[in-house]
Amino acid sequence: MRISWLIGGPQGQGVDTSANLFGQAVAKAGYYIFGNREYYSNIKGRHSYFQTVLSDNPVHSVVSYADILVAFEPETVFQHFDEVRKVVIYDPSQASVSVPFVRSMEPEIAEEKSKLLENEGLRPTVNDAITYAVKRGAKAIGLDYDSIVVKVAEEVNVPRSVAERVKNVAAVGASLKVLGLPIDGLLEAVRNAFKNELFIRMNSLAAKLAYDQVPSVYDLKPLERKEPRVWMDGNTAVALGKLAGGLRFQSYYPITPAADESVYLEAVETIEMEVNALKKGGVIVVQTEDELAAINMASGAALTGARAATSTSGPGFSLMAEGIGWAGMNEVPVVITYYMRGAPSTGQPTRTGQADLKFALNVSHGEFPRIVIASGDHVEAFWDAIWALNLAERYQTPVIHLLEKAIANSYVVTEESNFRGEYVIDRGKLVRPETDYFPRFQVTEDGISPRVRLGDAGVFYSGDEHNEWGHITEASTNRRTMYEKRMRKLETADREIPEEKRVNVFGEGDYAVVTWGFTKGAILDVLDELQAMGVMAIQVRMFSPYPRNLMRKLLQGKKAIIALEGNYQAQGAEVMTEQTGVFPTHYVLKYNGRLITSDEVMEGVKRALKGERRVVLSAGQ
Amino acid sequence: MRISWLIGGPQGQGVDTSANLFGQAVAKAGYYIFGNREYYSNIKGRHSYFQTVLSDNPVHSVVSYADILVAFEPETVFQHFDEVRKVVIYDPSQASVSVPFVRSMEPEIAEEKSKLLENEGLRPTVNDAITYAVKRGAKAIGLDYDSIVVKVAEEVNVPRSVAERVKNVAAVGASLKVLGLPIDGLLEAVRNAFKNELFIRMNSLAAKLAYDQVPSVYDLKPLERKEPRVWMDGNTAVALGKLAGGLRFQSYYPITPAADESVYLEAVETIEMEVNALKKGGVIVVQTEDELAAINMASGAALTGARAATSTSGPGFSLMAEGIGWAGMNEVPVVITYYMRGAPSTGQPTRTGQADLKFALNVSHGEFPRIVIASGDHVEAFWDAIWALNLAERYQTPVIHLLEKAIANSYVVTEESNFRGEYVIDRGKLVRPETDYFPRFQVTEDGISPRVRLGDAGVFYSGDEHNEWGHITEASTNRRTMYEKRMRKLETADREIPEEKRVNVFGEGDYAVVTWGFTKGAILDVLDELQAMGVMAIQVRMFSPYPRNLMRKLLQGKKAIIALEGNYQAQGAEVMTEQTGVFPTHYVLKYNGRLITSDEVMEGVKRALKGERRVVLSAGQ
Amino acid sequence: MQASEVKTHKPVWSDWCPGCGNFGILRAEELAIRELGLDPKSVVVVSGIGCSGKLPHFMNVPINGVHTLHGRALAFATGIKLANPKLKVIVNAGDGDALGIGMGHFVHAGRRNIDMVLIVHDNGVYALTKGQASPTLRKGIKTKSLPKPNVNEAVNPLAVAIASGYTFVARGYAYDVNHLKELMKRALNHRGMALIDVLQPCPTYNDVNTKEFYDKRVYKLEEQKDWDPVVRKPEEVQEKALKAIMKSFEWGERIPIGLFYQNTLEETYEDRIAKYIENYFDYPPALQEIEKDGKSTTLMDKLLKTRRI
Amino acid sequence: MQASEVKTHKPVWSDWCPGCGNFGILRAEELAIRELGLDPKSVVVVSGIGCSGKLPHFMNVPINGVHTLHGRALAFATGIKLANPKLKVIVNAGDGDALGIGMGHFVHAGRRNIDMVLIVHDNGVYALTKGQASPTLRKGIKTKSLPKPNVNEAVNPLAVAIASGYTFVARGYAYDVNHLKELMKRALNHRGMALIDVLQPCPTYNDVNTKEFYDKRVYKLEEQKDWDPVVRKPEEVQEKALKAIMKSFEWGERIPIGLFYQNTLEETYEDRIAKYIENYFDYPPALQEIEKDGKSTTLMDKLLKTRRI
Ligand SMILES: Cc1ncc(C[n+]2csc(CCOP(=O)(O)OP(=O)(O)O)c2C)c(N)n1
Ligand SMILES: Cc1ncc(C[n+]2csc(CCOP(=O)(O)OP(=O)(O)O)c2C)c(N)n1
Ligand code: SF4
Ligand code: SF4
Ligand SMILES: [Mg+2]
Ligand SMILES: [Mg+2]
């Protein structure tokens, strides 16, 4: 069982809040959830929507349709009427509103949607859009928002303009009824969400009124939960992982969709630690003047012995290129958490993307060990954040941790135990010296030199080629020695890190889907179906050092190799070919700024196996 | 016939001048020349040297030995005694100076060279270093610099401290005698080089005195020249190419080894043009506050219709990443001339490198057409500079023109006609609009939209995803359409640009050397020898769009594919594998900051063909 | 659906929040362009990234709009203006944009004194990224979007501008459209680098520097009898600059708006270029015919001959 | 040959040109560190790229040297200092470094008021790239390395520093080692962000601002009777800042060196952090024992529980 619920509305008018309340109510009823937020790079007024997929089994992705669409204003109806399957909740008093009156709607979308209606002989009105949905089998439920608003205003004794705000909670109340779930979870969530007693009363009332107004369509029952579950979005998962991994310094410059991670860390302030003398630590979070400062501050902090990271998105990462090179040259353990969004340039700041892999792998001029990992879901994001910090310190080199807006701004409800376990910390060759001066860059067999904190002995660093002491030298023999020493670290890492840890394999079969990042979740959600078709899936989790041998083995003899990625070039596949010589036979790609959905995975794979060499997916408003 | 002459001395003490004078004298005598300068990232005092290879045939590279070594102070003897083959000219009055007294010598080099002498039972003195060379068959010529200085001081009536400066011209005078060439060319060069009559007299006298002091070893004769020849270094070749290609705006931030190109352009000021009304144009050169400004200013200028470029090296290019992405998103015809030097980070600012290819190919987040070309020598650099400007405007996208310090700071003497011919200008779809507003990003079949100048109609640009009018839109359908439109341009370019133009093939045979950039010259200089062994050479000149099909064809059935590159990873080969699935069988690599020499090419290829899978070259001080 | 099927330019919906100060800036700018009778096609409005950065898209005149990168608007504008000095270039930037990430360009633009106008949307916050403190927010202030009081000292954009060489330095107020428009007209008529720092309430994130806050504090320098900020003789430069800097520190119960400093004597960067490049103003880079029948018009003969050996 | 076979630290040859002003700065800095009795190991000298940037490598005391990127030294230094406030952090940067490409960080460092010292090697040129004009070279000046007179106006680093919040602003002279050393000691003792702009002749490229040029112009503020640049009461801040700015414009026949401005009242950025993070000064990020027996010491239980649903 898997139900997709979608609520929309203008940015800044409570869509998020209502989706949260809905999620909490459903989670409290024992359901697993995957939720995703889509919004414009805008503060108020543009259409944003929240899709929540609930299930009695763990769920990891969204779908390209809405079983239940919830609208309290016209644009949501216009944007989504063609996605509804089962139920659409709308405001009948707005039935006559037509597309041209919705100024916030982009001309491209207005035109596209009007045409859709026109093709069916319908006019571009709310009424006709609902008709469209009903014709396709959906049940239309008109919710009398106005009467609810009026009642709330009366009962709680507030002006109507204030009571207007309850519409979205009303929508949630109605949704619960449609699902057949009790309303208590929602009322509890409302009590937790609002501090103000008045708001609690207003919203509880609205929820109840709406609940009573609509029929049940589904017949869901509250489920047992065996162990505690948590609500985890991607930004928080990474922040928590970093804390568990001993992060003590984070610099950042605000950018979507990375900033929330830093904001979370900043709020933590003092940290409890299991240490004898002074029990409490703290993570310093610095909002910098730009991303050039962010990466270089983090490197500076790392030189003192603090575990340090920065977090950014494409434009910021572009600005960090030079600093990452310095960190590579100076063997600085620094982590760059990199949330991909719509690119190139400013691109689509609030939409997802998966097109920065090769930039991450090759960032900055020259050669040095760049370690690049890419997480596939929220749980992986948490553990990878710890892993990244350990890799950085063990191999003394920048580690780039790739994620996507799709993970950052989506959330799962899943077992808390997924985030518990042994948090291993590997500080590598961090030592306490006894001498006045310390040769920081000693040549060793594995390429890794003993490392000291600034302040423990006189050490030198330089972005210029340097000798073992960190002093500049241009001698050609030293150049070669130090160059090889640095590059050897990547070979060491390649030897030490089990390739099995760098790849996730799902199922078995003659056909392989090769993917990375968020798409993992979409695959997991249709794995049974894929398996039934003889399709297995391979998710690359570490791109550098690349799991060359294992990948060769896995790809060998496959009847089809389908590259499934959120970009145009199939960058993951390009790296695969570079490393293994193997080309994909098919491509299933998506680059319209929206998440790859689980049903699209099925569609793509099926079309590919029917012979389409390149399938381009395009679901999502 | 090919003779390698090498002069060394402390930076800032006339080594360059003397090498120039020598080159002019030899060129005037009808010889072809290739000259290369090696120097520290230092203003005064560190060891710099100039190697000049002269030949009766065109010459394109240096060799790893000095037939004639010219020293006027101890460090040059210590740095190069083990490279001499035929003649070493030195100052016998310094015979007893020993390594520890030469403070400017880096400890690494001091130790290395002392050990070399020690292994032969010699002490680290000038005297013993000369002995070492003599033992290996060189002839030692002691030039009595002091007596020359004294004589010059007397005759011209200047203090000895002033006369000291003539030492290096004296060394050149002696060199000409050693070669058996007449002195007139040098005297003429001295007259042209110095404005001050006193200096002309001093230096001419010194040259003559030295000329008379030493014996002839070679027996060169002045040669006929059929057509005019020019003296061309890489920075100037590019600057001239840009002018021929219609460049009118260049922004730059000073950086080695790129800045001299901009300095040259700045000096040009007013340009003569074959246009009716106003006959004179001009190229604006702006020294910016940083490289972020440099790329973005160039993009701004390009939007107005001016052909615009910027020129930089690794650290600057790293800072340009974000700006290049904006140019890609906004389809700006802008050229980035990228001189590679020792990397990563500040690296070795004055040494060569070839390790930035994959960064150039993948620079900035997201996907957009990046056109990347790499020149193999000075003549190619000139024509590629024009080509780059044309490609940028035809495909409306940033073009990265890769060169190396090895080309920038080296020079050739070659026929002037190599730089003459038809300078084609392709402005692509630049139009004059008739309307108030103009949709800058019209969707077309080839992906290329008509383009107008800012000021000709209201047009809009945005780094955000935009519609045909350049206005921001986040609609998922528009996102896909515009994304594909942009990427299509690269496919159009791939179709339109003959693959033959993207690859140079030298000779034929069962074995292939695959290379790019400066190494072309070294190969050309030993092509006969390679051919005799059945080895052909393939030089990739355009990496994006990659000449996939031609390369596949060329590589097919080869018994060995030897990747010959100036980096550690063999980046050119990595791209080759990514694009063709073909792996090299052998690697010949060099990454010690020094040029790959022609004799090293032979050494490397031979060792590879004997079975060494990875040969690392390391010639050069 | 492709815009190609439409092919008429549609005005873009201004997606700023209701009551946003940006509306006032937009309106004043449109009016200034119109009232000065500028040919809109020769006007280029360059912007950075932020709520402010969207401004050119919202203009209801067929100007050129170049919506650039966060912090880099001035660099693009410089390239545009120098390649074609016939264009009128206006830069709209956020305070984070111009004074945070873009501070380097801000200072260096002053040193060049190019004939452009920079309009800073000074709202005290990084609005488009949800209200973090911008460089003009004073230390210790806690807007509703901040979890704790601001830890950084504020910059004084007017003082830094004067210290950096701007030759026209003013402050406007977004809700006094008329006054702002007049300032813009003066700035557009000024030959040299002009800054107008506009107090721009952001009702969504900045609940400290609101309309109410400013309405009762703002006063006009033009209405002060003895205020003469214009340098007319070289000897006055230092004195007037210092006076303006002093004035710029006035912030509290009373906040001055209007022209703080104008130096009409300084030559522009373009003037300096024209000393070396003949015809620069008449035949600038953007307009040179570099091509004829597919071939270069640039004469290379002389240049090549200088390389002969 | 590997340094591993040597394993004793050798002093590095200072490869500056004979007569370079940098020698004086190096000497003064070594002396200041010694005379203050600082533990060299706890001193971190951070530098940028340029002739100036090599300074830490040339120091004859076992300090820590971090030779960073062009323009970014302050950013690295900030990370170092905040992660371990027990360290003494000194930044040496070229004028191109600190005031050209690094201008953004220069200004924002003032806003933070971190307890560090920035020493600018003010030689008027981009020396290591062969003498292009740096941001402190005045307009119209033609040094021997420039093909034409400088087209840009100079920045006034002292004025910009004061306008940006530096709490200690001084100017030194490279050839007056003793005076410079004393300034450095005062700066090192100051709690907050300190700038010393050092007039540093570059005999190789700058033949205008030479030793001769400065020797006859430079005078010491300390020797002026009525010069008191230290803010001791909050009311004095603005007045003393303005006086200092005014003084900083003095350039011509007489050039003042010494302390221009010092504000001892302003809290540091570290103080502001310490308000939110217990034990910050005693147990800073760099020194926290995050690991025990290979496992994390950070307690995650509470944090995870807040996510429960
Ligand atoms: C290099 C880079 N870093 C970060 C961002 C994210 N970003 C978008 S808008 C913005 C700040 C906007 O603040 P401001 O410049 O004051 O403009 P406002 O929105 O207040 O008008 C930031 C940091 C970006 N676009 N580019
Ligand atoms: C990003 C970047 N751009 C350019 C350079 C080249 N570069 C090296 S030193 C230098 C300028 C040095 O001038 P300044 O900072 O004044 O230091 P000085 O040499 O005068 O001490 C430049 C531009 C660089 N290293 N990095
Ligand atoms: S967030 Fe603030 S600045 Fe942005 S549009 Fe809304 S009110 Fe205006
Ligand atoms: S070039 Fe100038 S600054 Fe650099 S070392 Fe020489 S004299 Fe000093
Ligand atoms: Mg702002
Ligand atoms: Mg300098």
- Give the pLDDT of residue C9: 80
Model confidence at D2, pLDDT cuts 50, 70, 90, reads: very low
CB contact under 8 A, A44 and C71: no
Cβ pair B591:A358 closer than 8 A: no
Q: Whose CA is nearest to atom 5 of ligand 3?
A: C16
pTM of this prediction?
Answer: 0.98
Look up residue B418 and give its DSSP letter. G
Q: Which residues pair with D171 in a beta bridge?
A: D197, D258
B464 and chain A in contact, CB less than 8 A = yes
Q: Is residue D33 scored above 80 in pLDDT?
A: yes
| Dist. CA B12 → ligand 4 center (Å) | 12
A326 and B CB contact within 8 Å: yes
Q: Which helix (H) or strand (E) holds D121?
A: strand D117-122
Q: Taking CB atoms and an 8 Å cutoff, what residues of chain A touch D116?
A: none
B562, β-bridge pairs:
B513, B586
Q: Do B420 and C304 touch (CB under 8 A)?
A: yes
pLDDT at A167 over 70: yes
Q: D294: nearest CA in chain A?
A: A425
Which ligand neighbours the alpha carbon of C211 most closely?
3
pLDDT band at B176 (very low <50, low <70, confident <90, very high): very high
DSSP notation for B200-234: HHHHHHHHHHHHHHS---S-------SS-EEEEEH
Say if strands A410-415 and A32-38 run parallel, antiparallel, or are unpaired: antiparallel
pLDDT at A279: 73
* Chain A residue with Cα closest to C135: A289
Both tokens assigned to A417: 């135990």
Cβ of residue C134 closer than 8 Å to a chain D Cβ: no
CATH of domain A2-213: 3.40.920.10
> Helix or strand or coil: residue B532?
helix
Which long-range contacts link A265-271 to residues 24+ away (Cβ below 8 Å)? A265/A239, A266/C147, A267/C147, A268/A239, A268/A243, A268/D303, A269/D276, A269/D277, A270/D276, A270/D277, A270/D278, A270/D279, A271/A243, A271/D298, A271/D299
D147:B115 CB<8 A: no
Task: List chain A residues with CB under 8 Å of B581.
Answer: 577, 581-583
Whether A239 has a pLDDT exceeding 90, the answer reads yes
Is the Cβ of A456 closer than 8 Å to some Cβ of chain D?
yes
Taking the centre of ligand 1 as the mean of its atom positions, its distance from the CA of residue C71, in whole angstroms, is 8
> What is the mean pLDDT of the segment spanning A289-318?
98
> Is residue D183 helix, strand or coil?
helix
pLDDT tens profile A365-403: 999 999 999 999 999 999 999 999 999 999 999 999 999
Mean pLDDT of B504-514: 98
Closest CA to A372 of A542, A119, A117: A542
Mind telling me how many Å the CA of A283 is from chain D's nearest CA?
Answer: 7
Task: Compute CA B470 distance to the chain's CA centroid, rounded to the nearest angstrom.
Answer: 39
pLDDT exceeds cutoff 60 at D5? no
Is ligand 4 within 6 A of the CB of residue B278? no
Q: Specify the residue with its C-alpha closest to ligand 3, atom 3.
A: C202
Query: Of ligand 1's atoms, which has the minimum distance to the CA of residue C202?
Result: 20
Q: Would you say the ipTM is above 0.85?
A: yes
Distance CA A308, CA A302 (A): 5
A502, pLDDT greater than 80: yes
Task: Tell me, using a 6 A CB cutoff, whether residue C17 lines ligand 1.
Answer: no
Mean pLDDT of B579-590: 98
Cβ within 8 Å of residue D182, ≥6 positions away: none
Pick from B44, B255, B320 the residue to mutate for probing ligand 2's pocket: most ligand atoms within 8 Å of its CB.
B255
DSSP string covering A80-101: HGGGEEEEEEE-GGGTT-BGGG
A32 in helix, strand or coil? strand
User: What CATH number does domain A502-617 carry, 3.40.250.10, 3.40.50.920, 3.40.50.300, 3.30.360.10?
Assistant: 3.40.50.920
Class of domain C3-268: alpha beta
Give the mean model confidence (pLDDT) for residues D272-278: 93
pLDDT attached to residue B124: 97
Ligand 2 atom with minimal separation from the D70 CA:
26
Question: Which among C3, C49, C129 has the least Cβ separation from residue A346?
Answer: C49
Q: Out of D27, D51, D175, D210, give the residue to mutate to test ligand 4, the one with the largest number of ligand atoms within 8 Å of its CB.
A: D51
- Of B544, B414, A547, B230, the C-alpha closest to C308 is B230
D259 strand-pairing partners: D170
Q: Look at residue D214 and tell me whether its pLDDT is greater than 70.
A: yes
Which amino acid belongs to residue C241? A
Alpha helix positions (H), chain D: 22-35, 55-58, 73-83, 95-96, 103-112, 157-164, 177-189, 211-215, 236-248, 269-274, 301-305
Q: Is A320 in the pocket of ligand 1 (CB under 6 A)?
A: no
What does the H/E/C string look like for A352-378? ECCCCHHHHHHCCCCCCCCEEEECCCH
CA-to-CA separations, C95 to B140, B403, C28, C196, C214, in angstroms, rounded: 70, 39, 18, 12, 17
Sign of the Cα pseudo-torsion (D196, D202, D206, D210, in order): positive
- Minimum CA–CA partner of B248 in chain C: C285
| Best residue in B290, B348, B350 for a mutation probing chain D (most D CBs within 10 Å) | B290
Q: Is residue A335 within 8 Å of A388, Cβ to Cβ?
A: yes
For residue C129, the distance in angstroms to the closest alpha carbon of chain A comes to: 6
Burial of A576 (0-12, 13-18, 19+ CB in 10 A): buried
Beta bridge partners of A10: A47
Neighbours of chain B (3+ CB pairs under 8 A): A, C, D
Task: Output the CA angle A133-A136-A141, nearest 5 degrees.
Answer: 40
A39 Rama sector, left if φ>0, alpha if ψ -120 to 50, beta otherwise? beta
DSSP state of C308: B
Q: Which CATH code is given to the segment(s) A233-419? A: 3.40.50.970
Choose between B42 and D10: higher pLDDT. Answer: B42
Q: Are residues D131 and B43 in contact, defined by beta-carbon separation less than 8 angstroms?
A: no
Could you write out the three-class secondary structure of A528-587?
A: HHHHHCCEEEEEECEEECCCHHHHHHHHCCCCEEEEEECCCCCHHHHHHHHHHCCCCCEE
Residue A48 has pLDDT above 90, yes or no: yes
A2-213 and A233-419: identical CATH topology:
no
Q: Whose CA is nearest to atom 1 of ligand 3?
A: C127
Confidence at D147, pLDDT banded by 50, 70, 90: confident
When CB atoms are compared, the residue of A255, A266, A290 closest to C129 is: A255
D2 vs D22: CA distance, rounded Å:
30
Which atom of ligand 1 is least distant from the CA of A255? 6
Find the angle CA(A502)-CA(A503)-CA(A509) to the nearest 5 degrees: 165
CA of C174 to the centre of ligand 3 (A): 13
Token pair in block for residue D54: 């090599």
Mean pLDDT, chain C, rounded, equals 95
What digits encode the pLDDT tens for the residues A324-371? Answer: 999 999 999 999 999 999 999 999 999 999 999 999 999 999 999 999
Give per-10-residue mean pLDDT for chain C (309 aa).
Answer: 54 94 98 97 98 97 96 98 98 98 98 98 97 96 93 95 96 98 98 98 97 98 96 94 95 97 96 93 96 96 96
Distance between Cα C128 and ligand 5 center (Å): 8
Domain ranges of chain B: 2-213, 233-419, 429-497, 502-617
What ranges in A119-213 are assigned the alpha helix state H?
Answer: 126-135, 145-156, 160-163, 167-179, 184-193, 197-213
Q: Say if residues B85 and B53 touch (Cβ distance below 8 Å).
A: no
Chain D residues with beta carbon closer than 8 angstroms to that of B40: 15
Which ligand 2 atom is nearest residue D95's CA? 16
Report the C-alpha gap between B341 and B158 in whole angstroms: 42
β-bridge partners, C255: C218
Q: Give, using CA atoms, the residue closest to atom 8 of ligand 4.
A: D20
Contact residues on chain B for C63, CB-CB shorter than 8 A:
458
Instruction: Tell whether B272 is within 8 A of chain C (Cβ).
Output: yes
